[in-house]
């Protein structure tokens, strides 16, 4: 569903938090994905838990989950929402020398959870970068996108493959 006006501005063009008081409570789900590309030797060290700072993938997963719960503190006009579920999957891809990241967030509420899923993916990838930057400063975080959204009056969205 396409809207004609931006929702985070009032009639005078000033920034405004969206009023969700009249919205219905529905189950809302969002899934985002992204990846971080690196040198093959870096990925090998991650998989063999040979990075000095520790188990990169476990720490990145926890960081992504924690970040999703803090989204309201990072994005100025996001609502404080009671997340029911957050999961972050990190899938190493040795062929393409990257880690694919997928985050899902959900709740029963009056507003969506897309920003929480995006935040989880972004912070998980930044955590990988932070933990590995001493051996690979050329890592590239890319392709962060919404792949699924459901719930609410705008209905379901699935990204084109």
Residue ranges and CATH numbers for the domains of the chain are 26-152 (3.30.70.640)
Cross-strand partners of 27? 108
Q: How far apart are CA 129 and CA 141, in angstroms?
A: 8
Q: How far apart are CA 124 and CA 129, in angstroms?
A: 9
Q: What pLDDT is recorded for position 67?
A: 98
What mean pLDDT is reported for the chain? Answer: 93
Report the run of H or E that residue 40 belongs to, with start and end: helix 40-47
Confidence of residue 1 (pLDDT cuts 50, 70, 90): very low
Residue 130 is among the residues annotated as catalytic for this protein = yes
pLDDT at 102 over 60: yes
Catalytic residue among 19, 55, 89, 130: 130
Q: What pLDDT is recorded for position 19?
A: 80
pLDDT digits (tens, 9 = 90+) for 17-66: 788 888 889 999 999 999 999 999 999 999 999 999 999 999 999 999 99
Higher pLDDT, 116 or 155: 116
Q: What pLDDT is recorded for position 3?
A: 54
Higher pLDDT, 5 or 72: 72
pLDDT at 78 over 70: yes
Asked if 90 and 14 count as a contact pair (C-beta separation under 8 A), the reply is no
| Closest to 60 (Cα-Cα) out of 36, 82, 84 | 36
């Amino acid at each position: 569903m396409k809207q004609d006006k931006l929702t985070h501005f009032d009639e005078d063009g000033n920034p405004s938090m969206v009023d969700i008081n009249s919205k219905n409570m529905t189950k809302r789900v969002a899934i985002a994905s992204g990846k971080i590309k690196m040198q093959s030797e870096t990925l090998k060290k991650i998989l063999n838990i040979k990075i000095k700072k520790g188990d990169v993938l476990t720490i990145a997963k926890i960081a992504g989950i924690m970040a999703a719960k803090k989204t309201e503190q990072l994005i100025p006009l996001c609502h404080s929402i009671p997340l029911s579920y957050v999961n972050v999957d990190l899938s190493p891809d040795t062929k393409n020398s990257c880690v694919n990241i997928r985050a899902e967030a959900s709740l029963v509420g009056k507003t969506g959870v897309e920003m929480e899923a995006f935040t989880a993916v972004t912070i998980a990838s930044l955590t990988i970068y932070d933990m590995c930057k001493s051996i690979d400063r050329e890592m590239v975080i890319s392709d962060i996108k919404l792949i699924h959204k459901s719930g609410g009056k705008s209905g379901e969205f699935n990204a084109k493959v």
